[in-house]
């Protein structure tokens, strides 16, 4: 499973409603969000592009409003899998915001957070790490108490892990845990995401027992929000299963991995990146037991998903919206 990356949306200052007592027309952001919620991304893109053309021809247009629309369009493009256009839009927004870092420190971090998803999809981990480092320096100077510091630390740990800097990633994640503990309860979903991330680092290091400890901590918190058969648990079962396999517990690993597949298919995620990994884990498990037929079956299923993704040009990205306190 990929590490979980926080996804936040820009909160630039915009005029408030004139009167809360009167019905107000939908704002552009509300219209776009409504379309996005319905999966109507082409319609949302068209709406935003029309709005941006209108603003571009208006000499009195509010610069923040333009940046808000560009960031929203970047998020839509990212959801469509068009990472190149998303990156270009996010960089345009950053160019504007960095002119006044003292005013837009949190917004810079939010856009970098969005960009981190693009860089992760492109495997541009060093580039992402540099951007996150700059955002953290700006936050340290102007907004040291911002919750976006924690979001940036999660991103920083993710890129360090992807670059093989495991000890640095562990140190960063531990720093993030301490920061979150100052204002979040221990059962907050952000802790579940971060424990999962630590589990991934320890797994990559080959410390499977410590990885299991972290995955169990993550699952315990998730269990406070979801029932055991909730499809959201599929990733947890995959992580626990692959770790049980590494610890030599083949029977338990098989049980957990098959449950992960069942929950993914229950939600209809037949081409999901996590499902691909679970199929590969099952294939490795069966091959190690000499069960070539079963191993071949899951290897073929994984190959099909990988082939479909190569054709579409899209990669699976797991996004975690930072939970509210």
pLDDT band at 314 (very low <50, low <70, confident <90, very high): very low
What average pLDDT score do residues 178-201 get? 93
What average pLDDT score do residues 51-65 get? 86
Using CA atoms, how far apart are residues 196 and 153, in angstroms rounded to an integer? 15
In CATH, 1-10+29-191 is 3.10.180.10: no
pLDDT of residue 26: 64
pLDDT of residue 310: 55
Q: Please say whether the beta carbons of 98 and 131 come within 8 A.
A: no
CB atoms within 10 A of CB 79: 15
- Is residue 8 scored above 70 in pLDDT? no
Global pTM reads 0.80
CATH 1.25.40.10 residue ranges for the chain:
1-10+29-191, 226-317
pLDDT band at 39 (very low <50, low <70, confident <90, very high): confident
pLDDT of residue 1: 45
Query: 226-317, what's its fold?
Result: 1.25.40
Q: Please say whether the beta carbons of 243 and 208 come within 8 A.
A: yes
Q: Is pLDDT larger for residue 322 or for residue 252?
A: 252
What average pLDDT score do residues 30-35 get? 84
pLDDT of residue 255: 97
Please state, rounded to an integer, the average pLDDT across all residues of the chain.
85
């Amino acid at each position: 499973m990929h590490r979980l990356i926080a996804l936040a949306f820009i909160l630039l200052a915009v005029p408030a409603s004139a009167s809360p007592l009167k019905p107000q027309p939908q704002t552009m952001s509300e219209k776009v969000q409504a379309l996005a919620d319905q999966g109507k991304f082409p319609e949302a893109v068209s709406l935003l592009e029309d709005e941006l053309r209108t603003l571009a021809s208006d000499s009195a247009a509010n610069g923040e409003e333009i940046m808000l629309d560009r960031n929203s369009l970047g998020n839509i493009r990212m959801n469509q899998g068009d990472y190149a256009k998303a990156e270009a839009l996010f960089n345009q927004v950053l160019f504007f915001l960095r002119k006044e870092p003292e005013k837009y420190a949190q917004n810079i971090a939010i856009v970098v957070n969005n960009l981190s998803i693009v860089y992760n999809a492109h495997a541009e981990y060093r580039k992402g790490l540099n951007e996150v480092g700059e955002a953290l320096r700006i936050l340290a100077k102007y907004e040291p108490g911002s919750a976006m510091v924690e979001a940036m630390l999660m991103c920083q740990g993710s890129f360090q892990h992807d670059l093989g800097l495991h000890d640095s990633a562990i140190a960063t994640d531990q720093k993030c845990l301490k920061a979150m503990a100052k204002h979040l309860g221990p059962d907050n979903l952000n802790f579940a995401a971060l424990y999962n991330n630590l589990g991934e680092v320890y797994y990559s290091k080959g410390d499977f027992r410590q990885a299991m400890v972290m995955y169990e901590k993550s699952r315990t918190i998730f269990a406070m929000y979801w029932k055991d058969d909730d499809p959201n648990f599929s990733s947890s079962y995959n992580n626990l299963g692959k770790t049980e396999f590494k610890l030599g517990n083949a029977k338990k690993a098989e049980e957990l991995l098959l449950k992960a597949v069942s929950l993914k298919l229950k939600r209809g995620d037949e081409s999901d990146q996590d499902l691909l990994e679970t199929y590969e884990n099952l294939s490795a498990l069966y091959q190690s037991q000499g069960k070539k037929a079963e191993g071949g079956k899951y290897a073929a299923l994984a190959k099909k998903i990988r082939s479909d993704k190569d054709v579409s040009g899209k990669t699976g990205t797991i996004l975690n919206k930072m939970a509210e306190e």
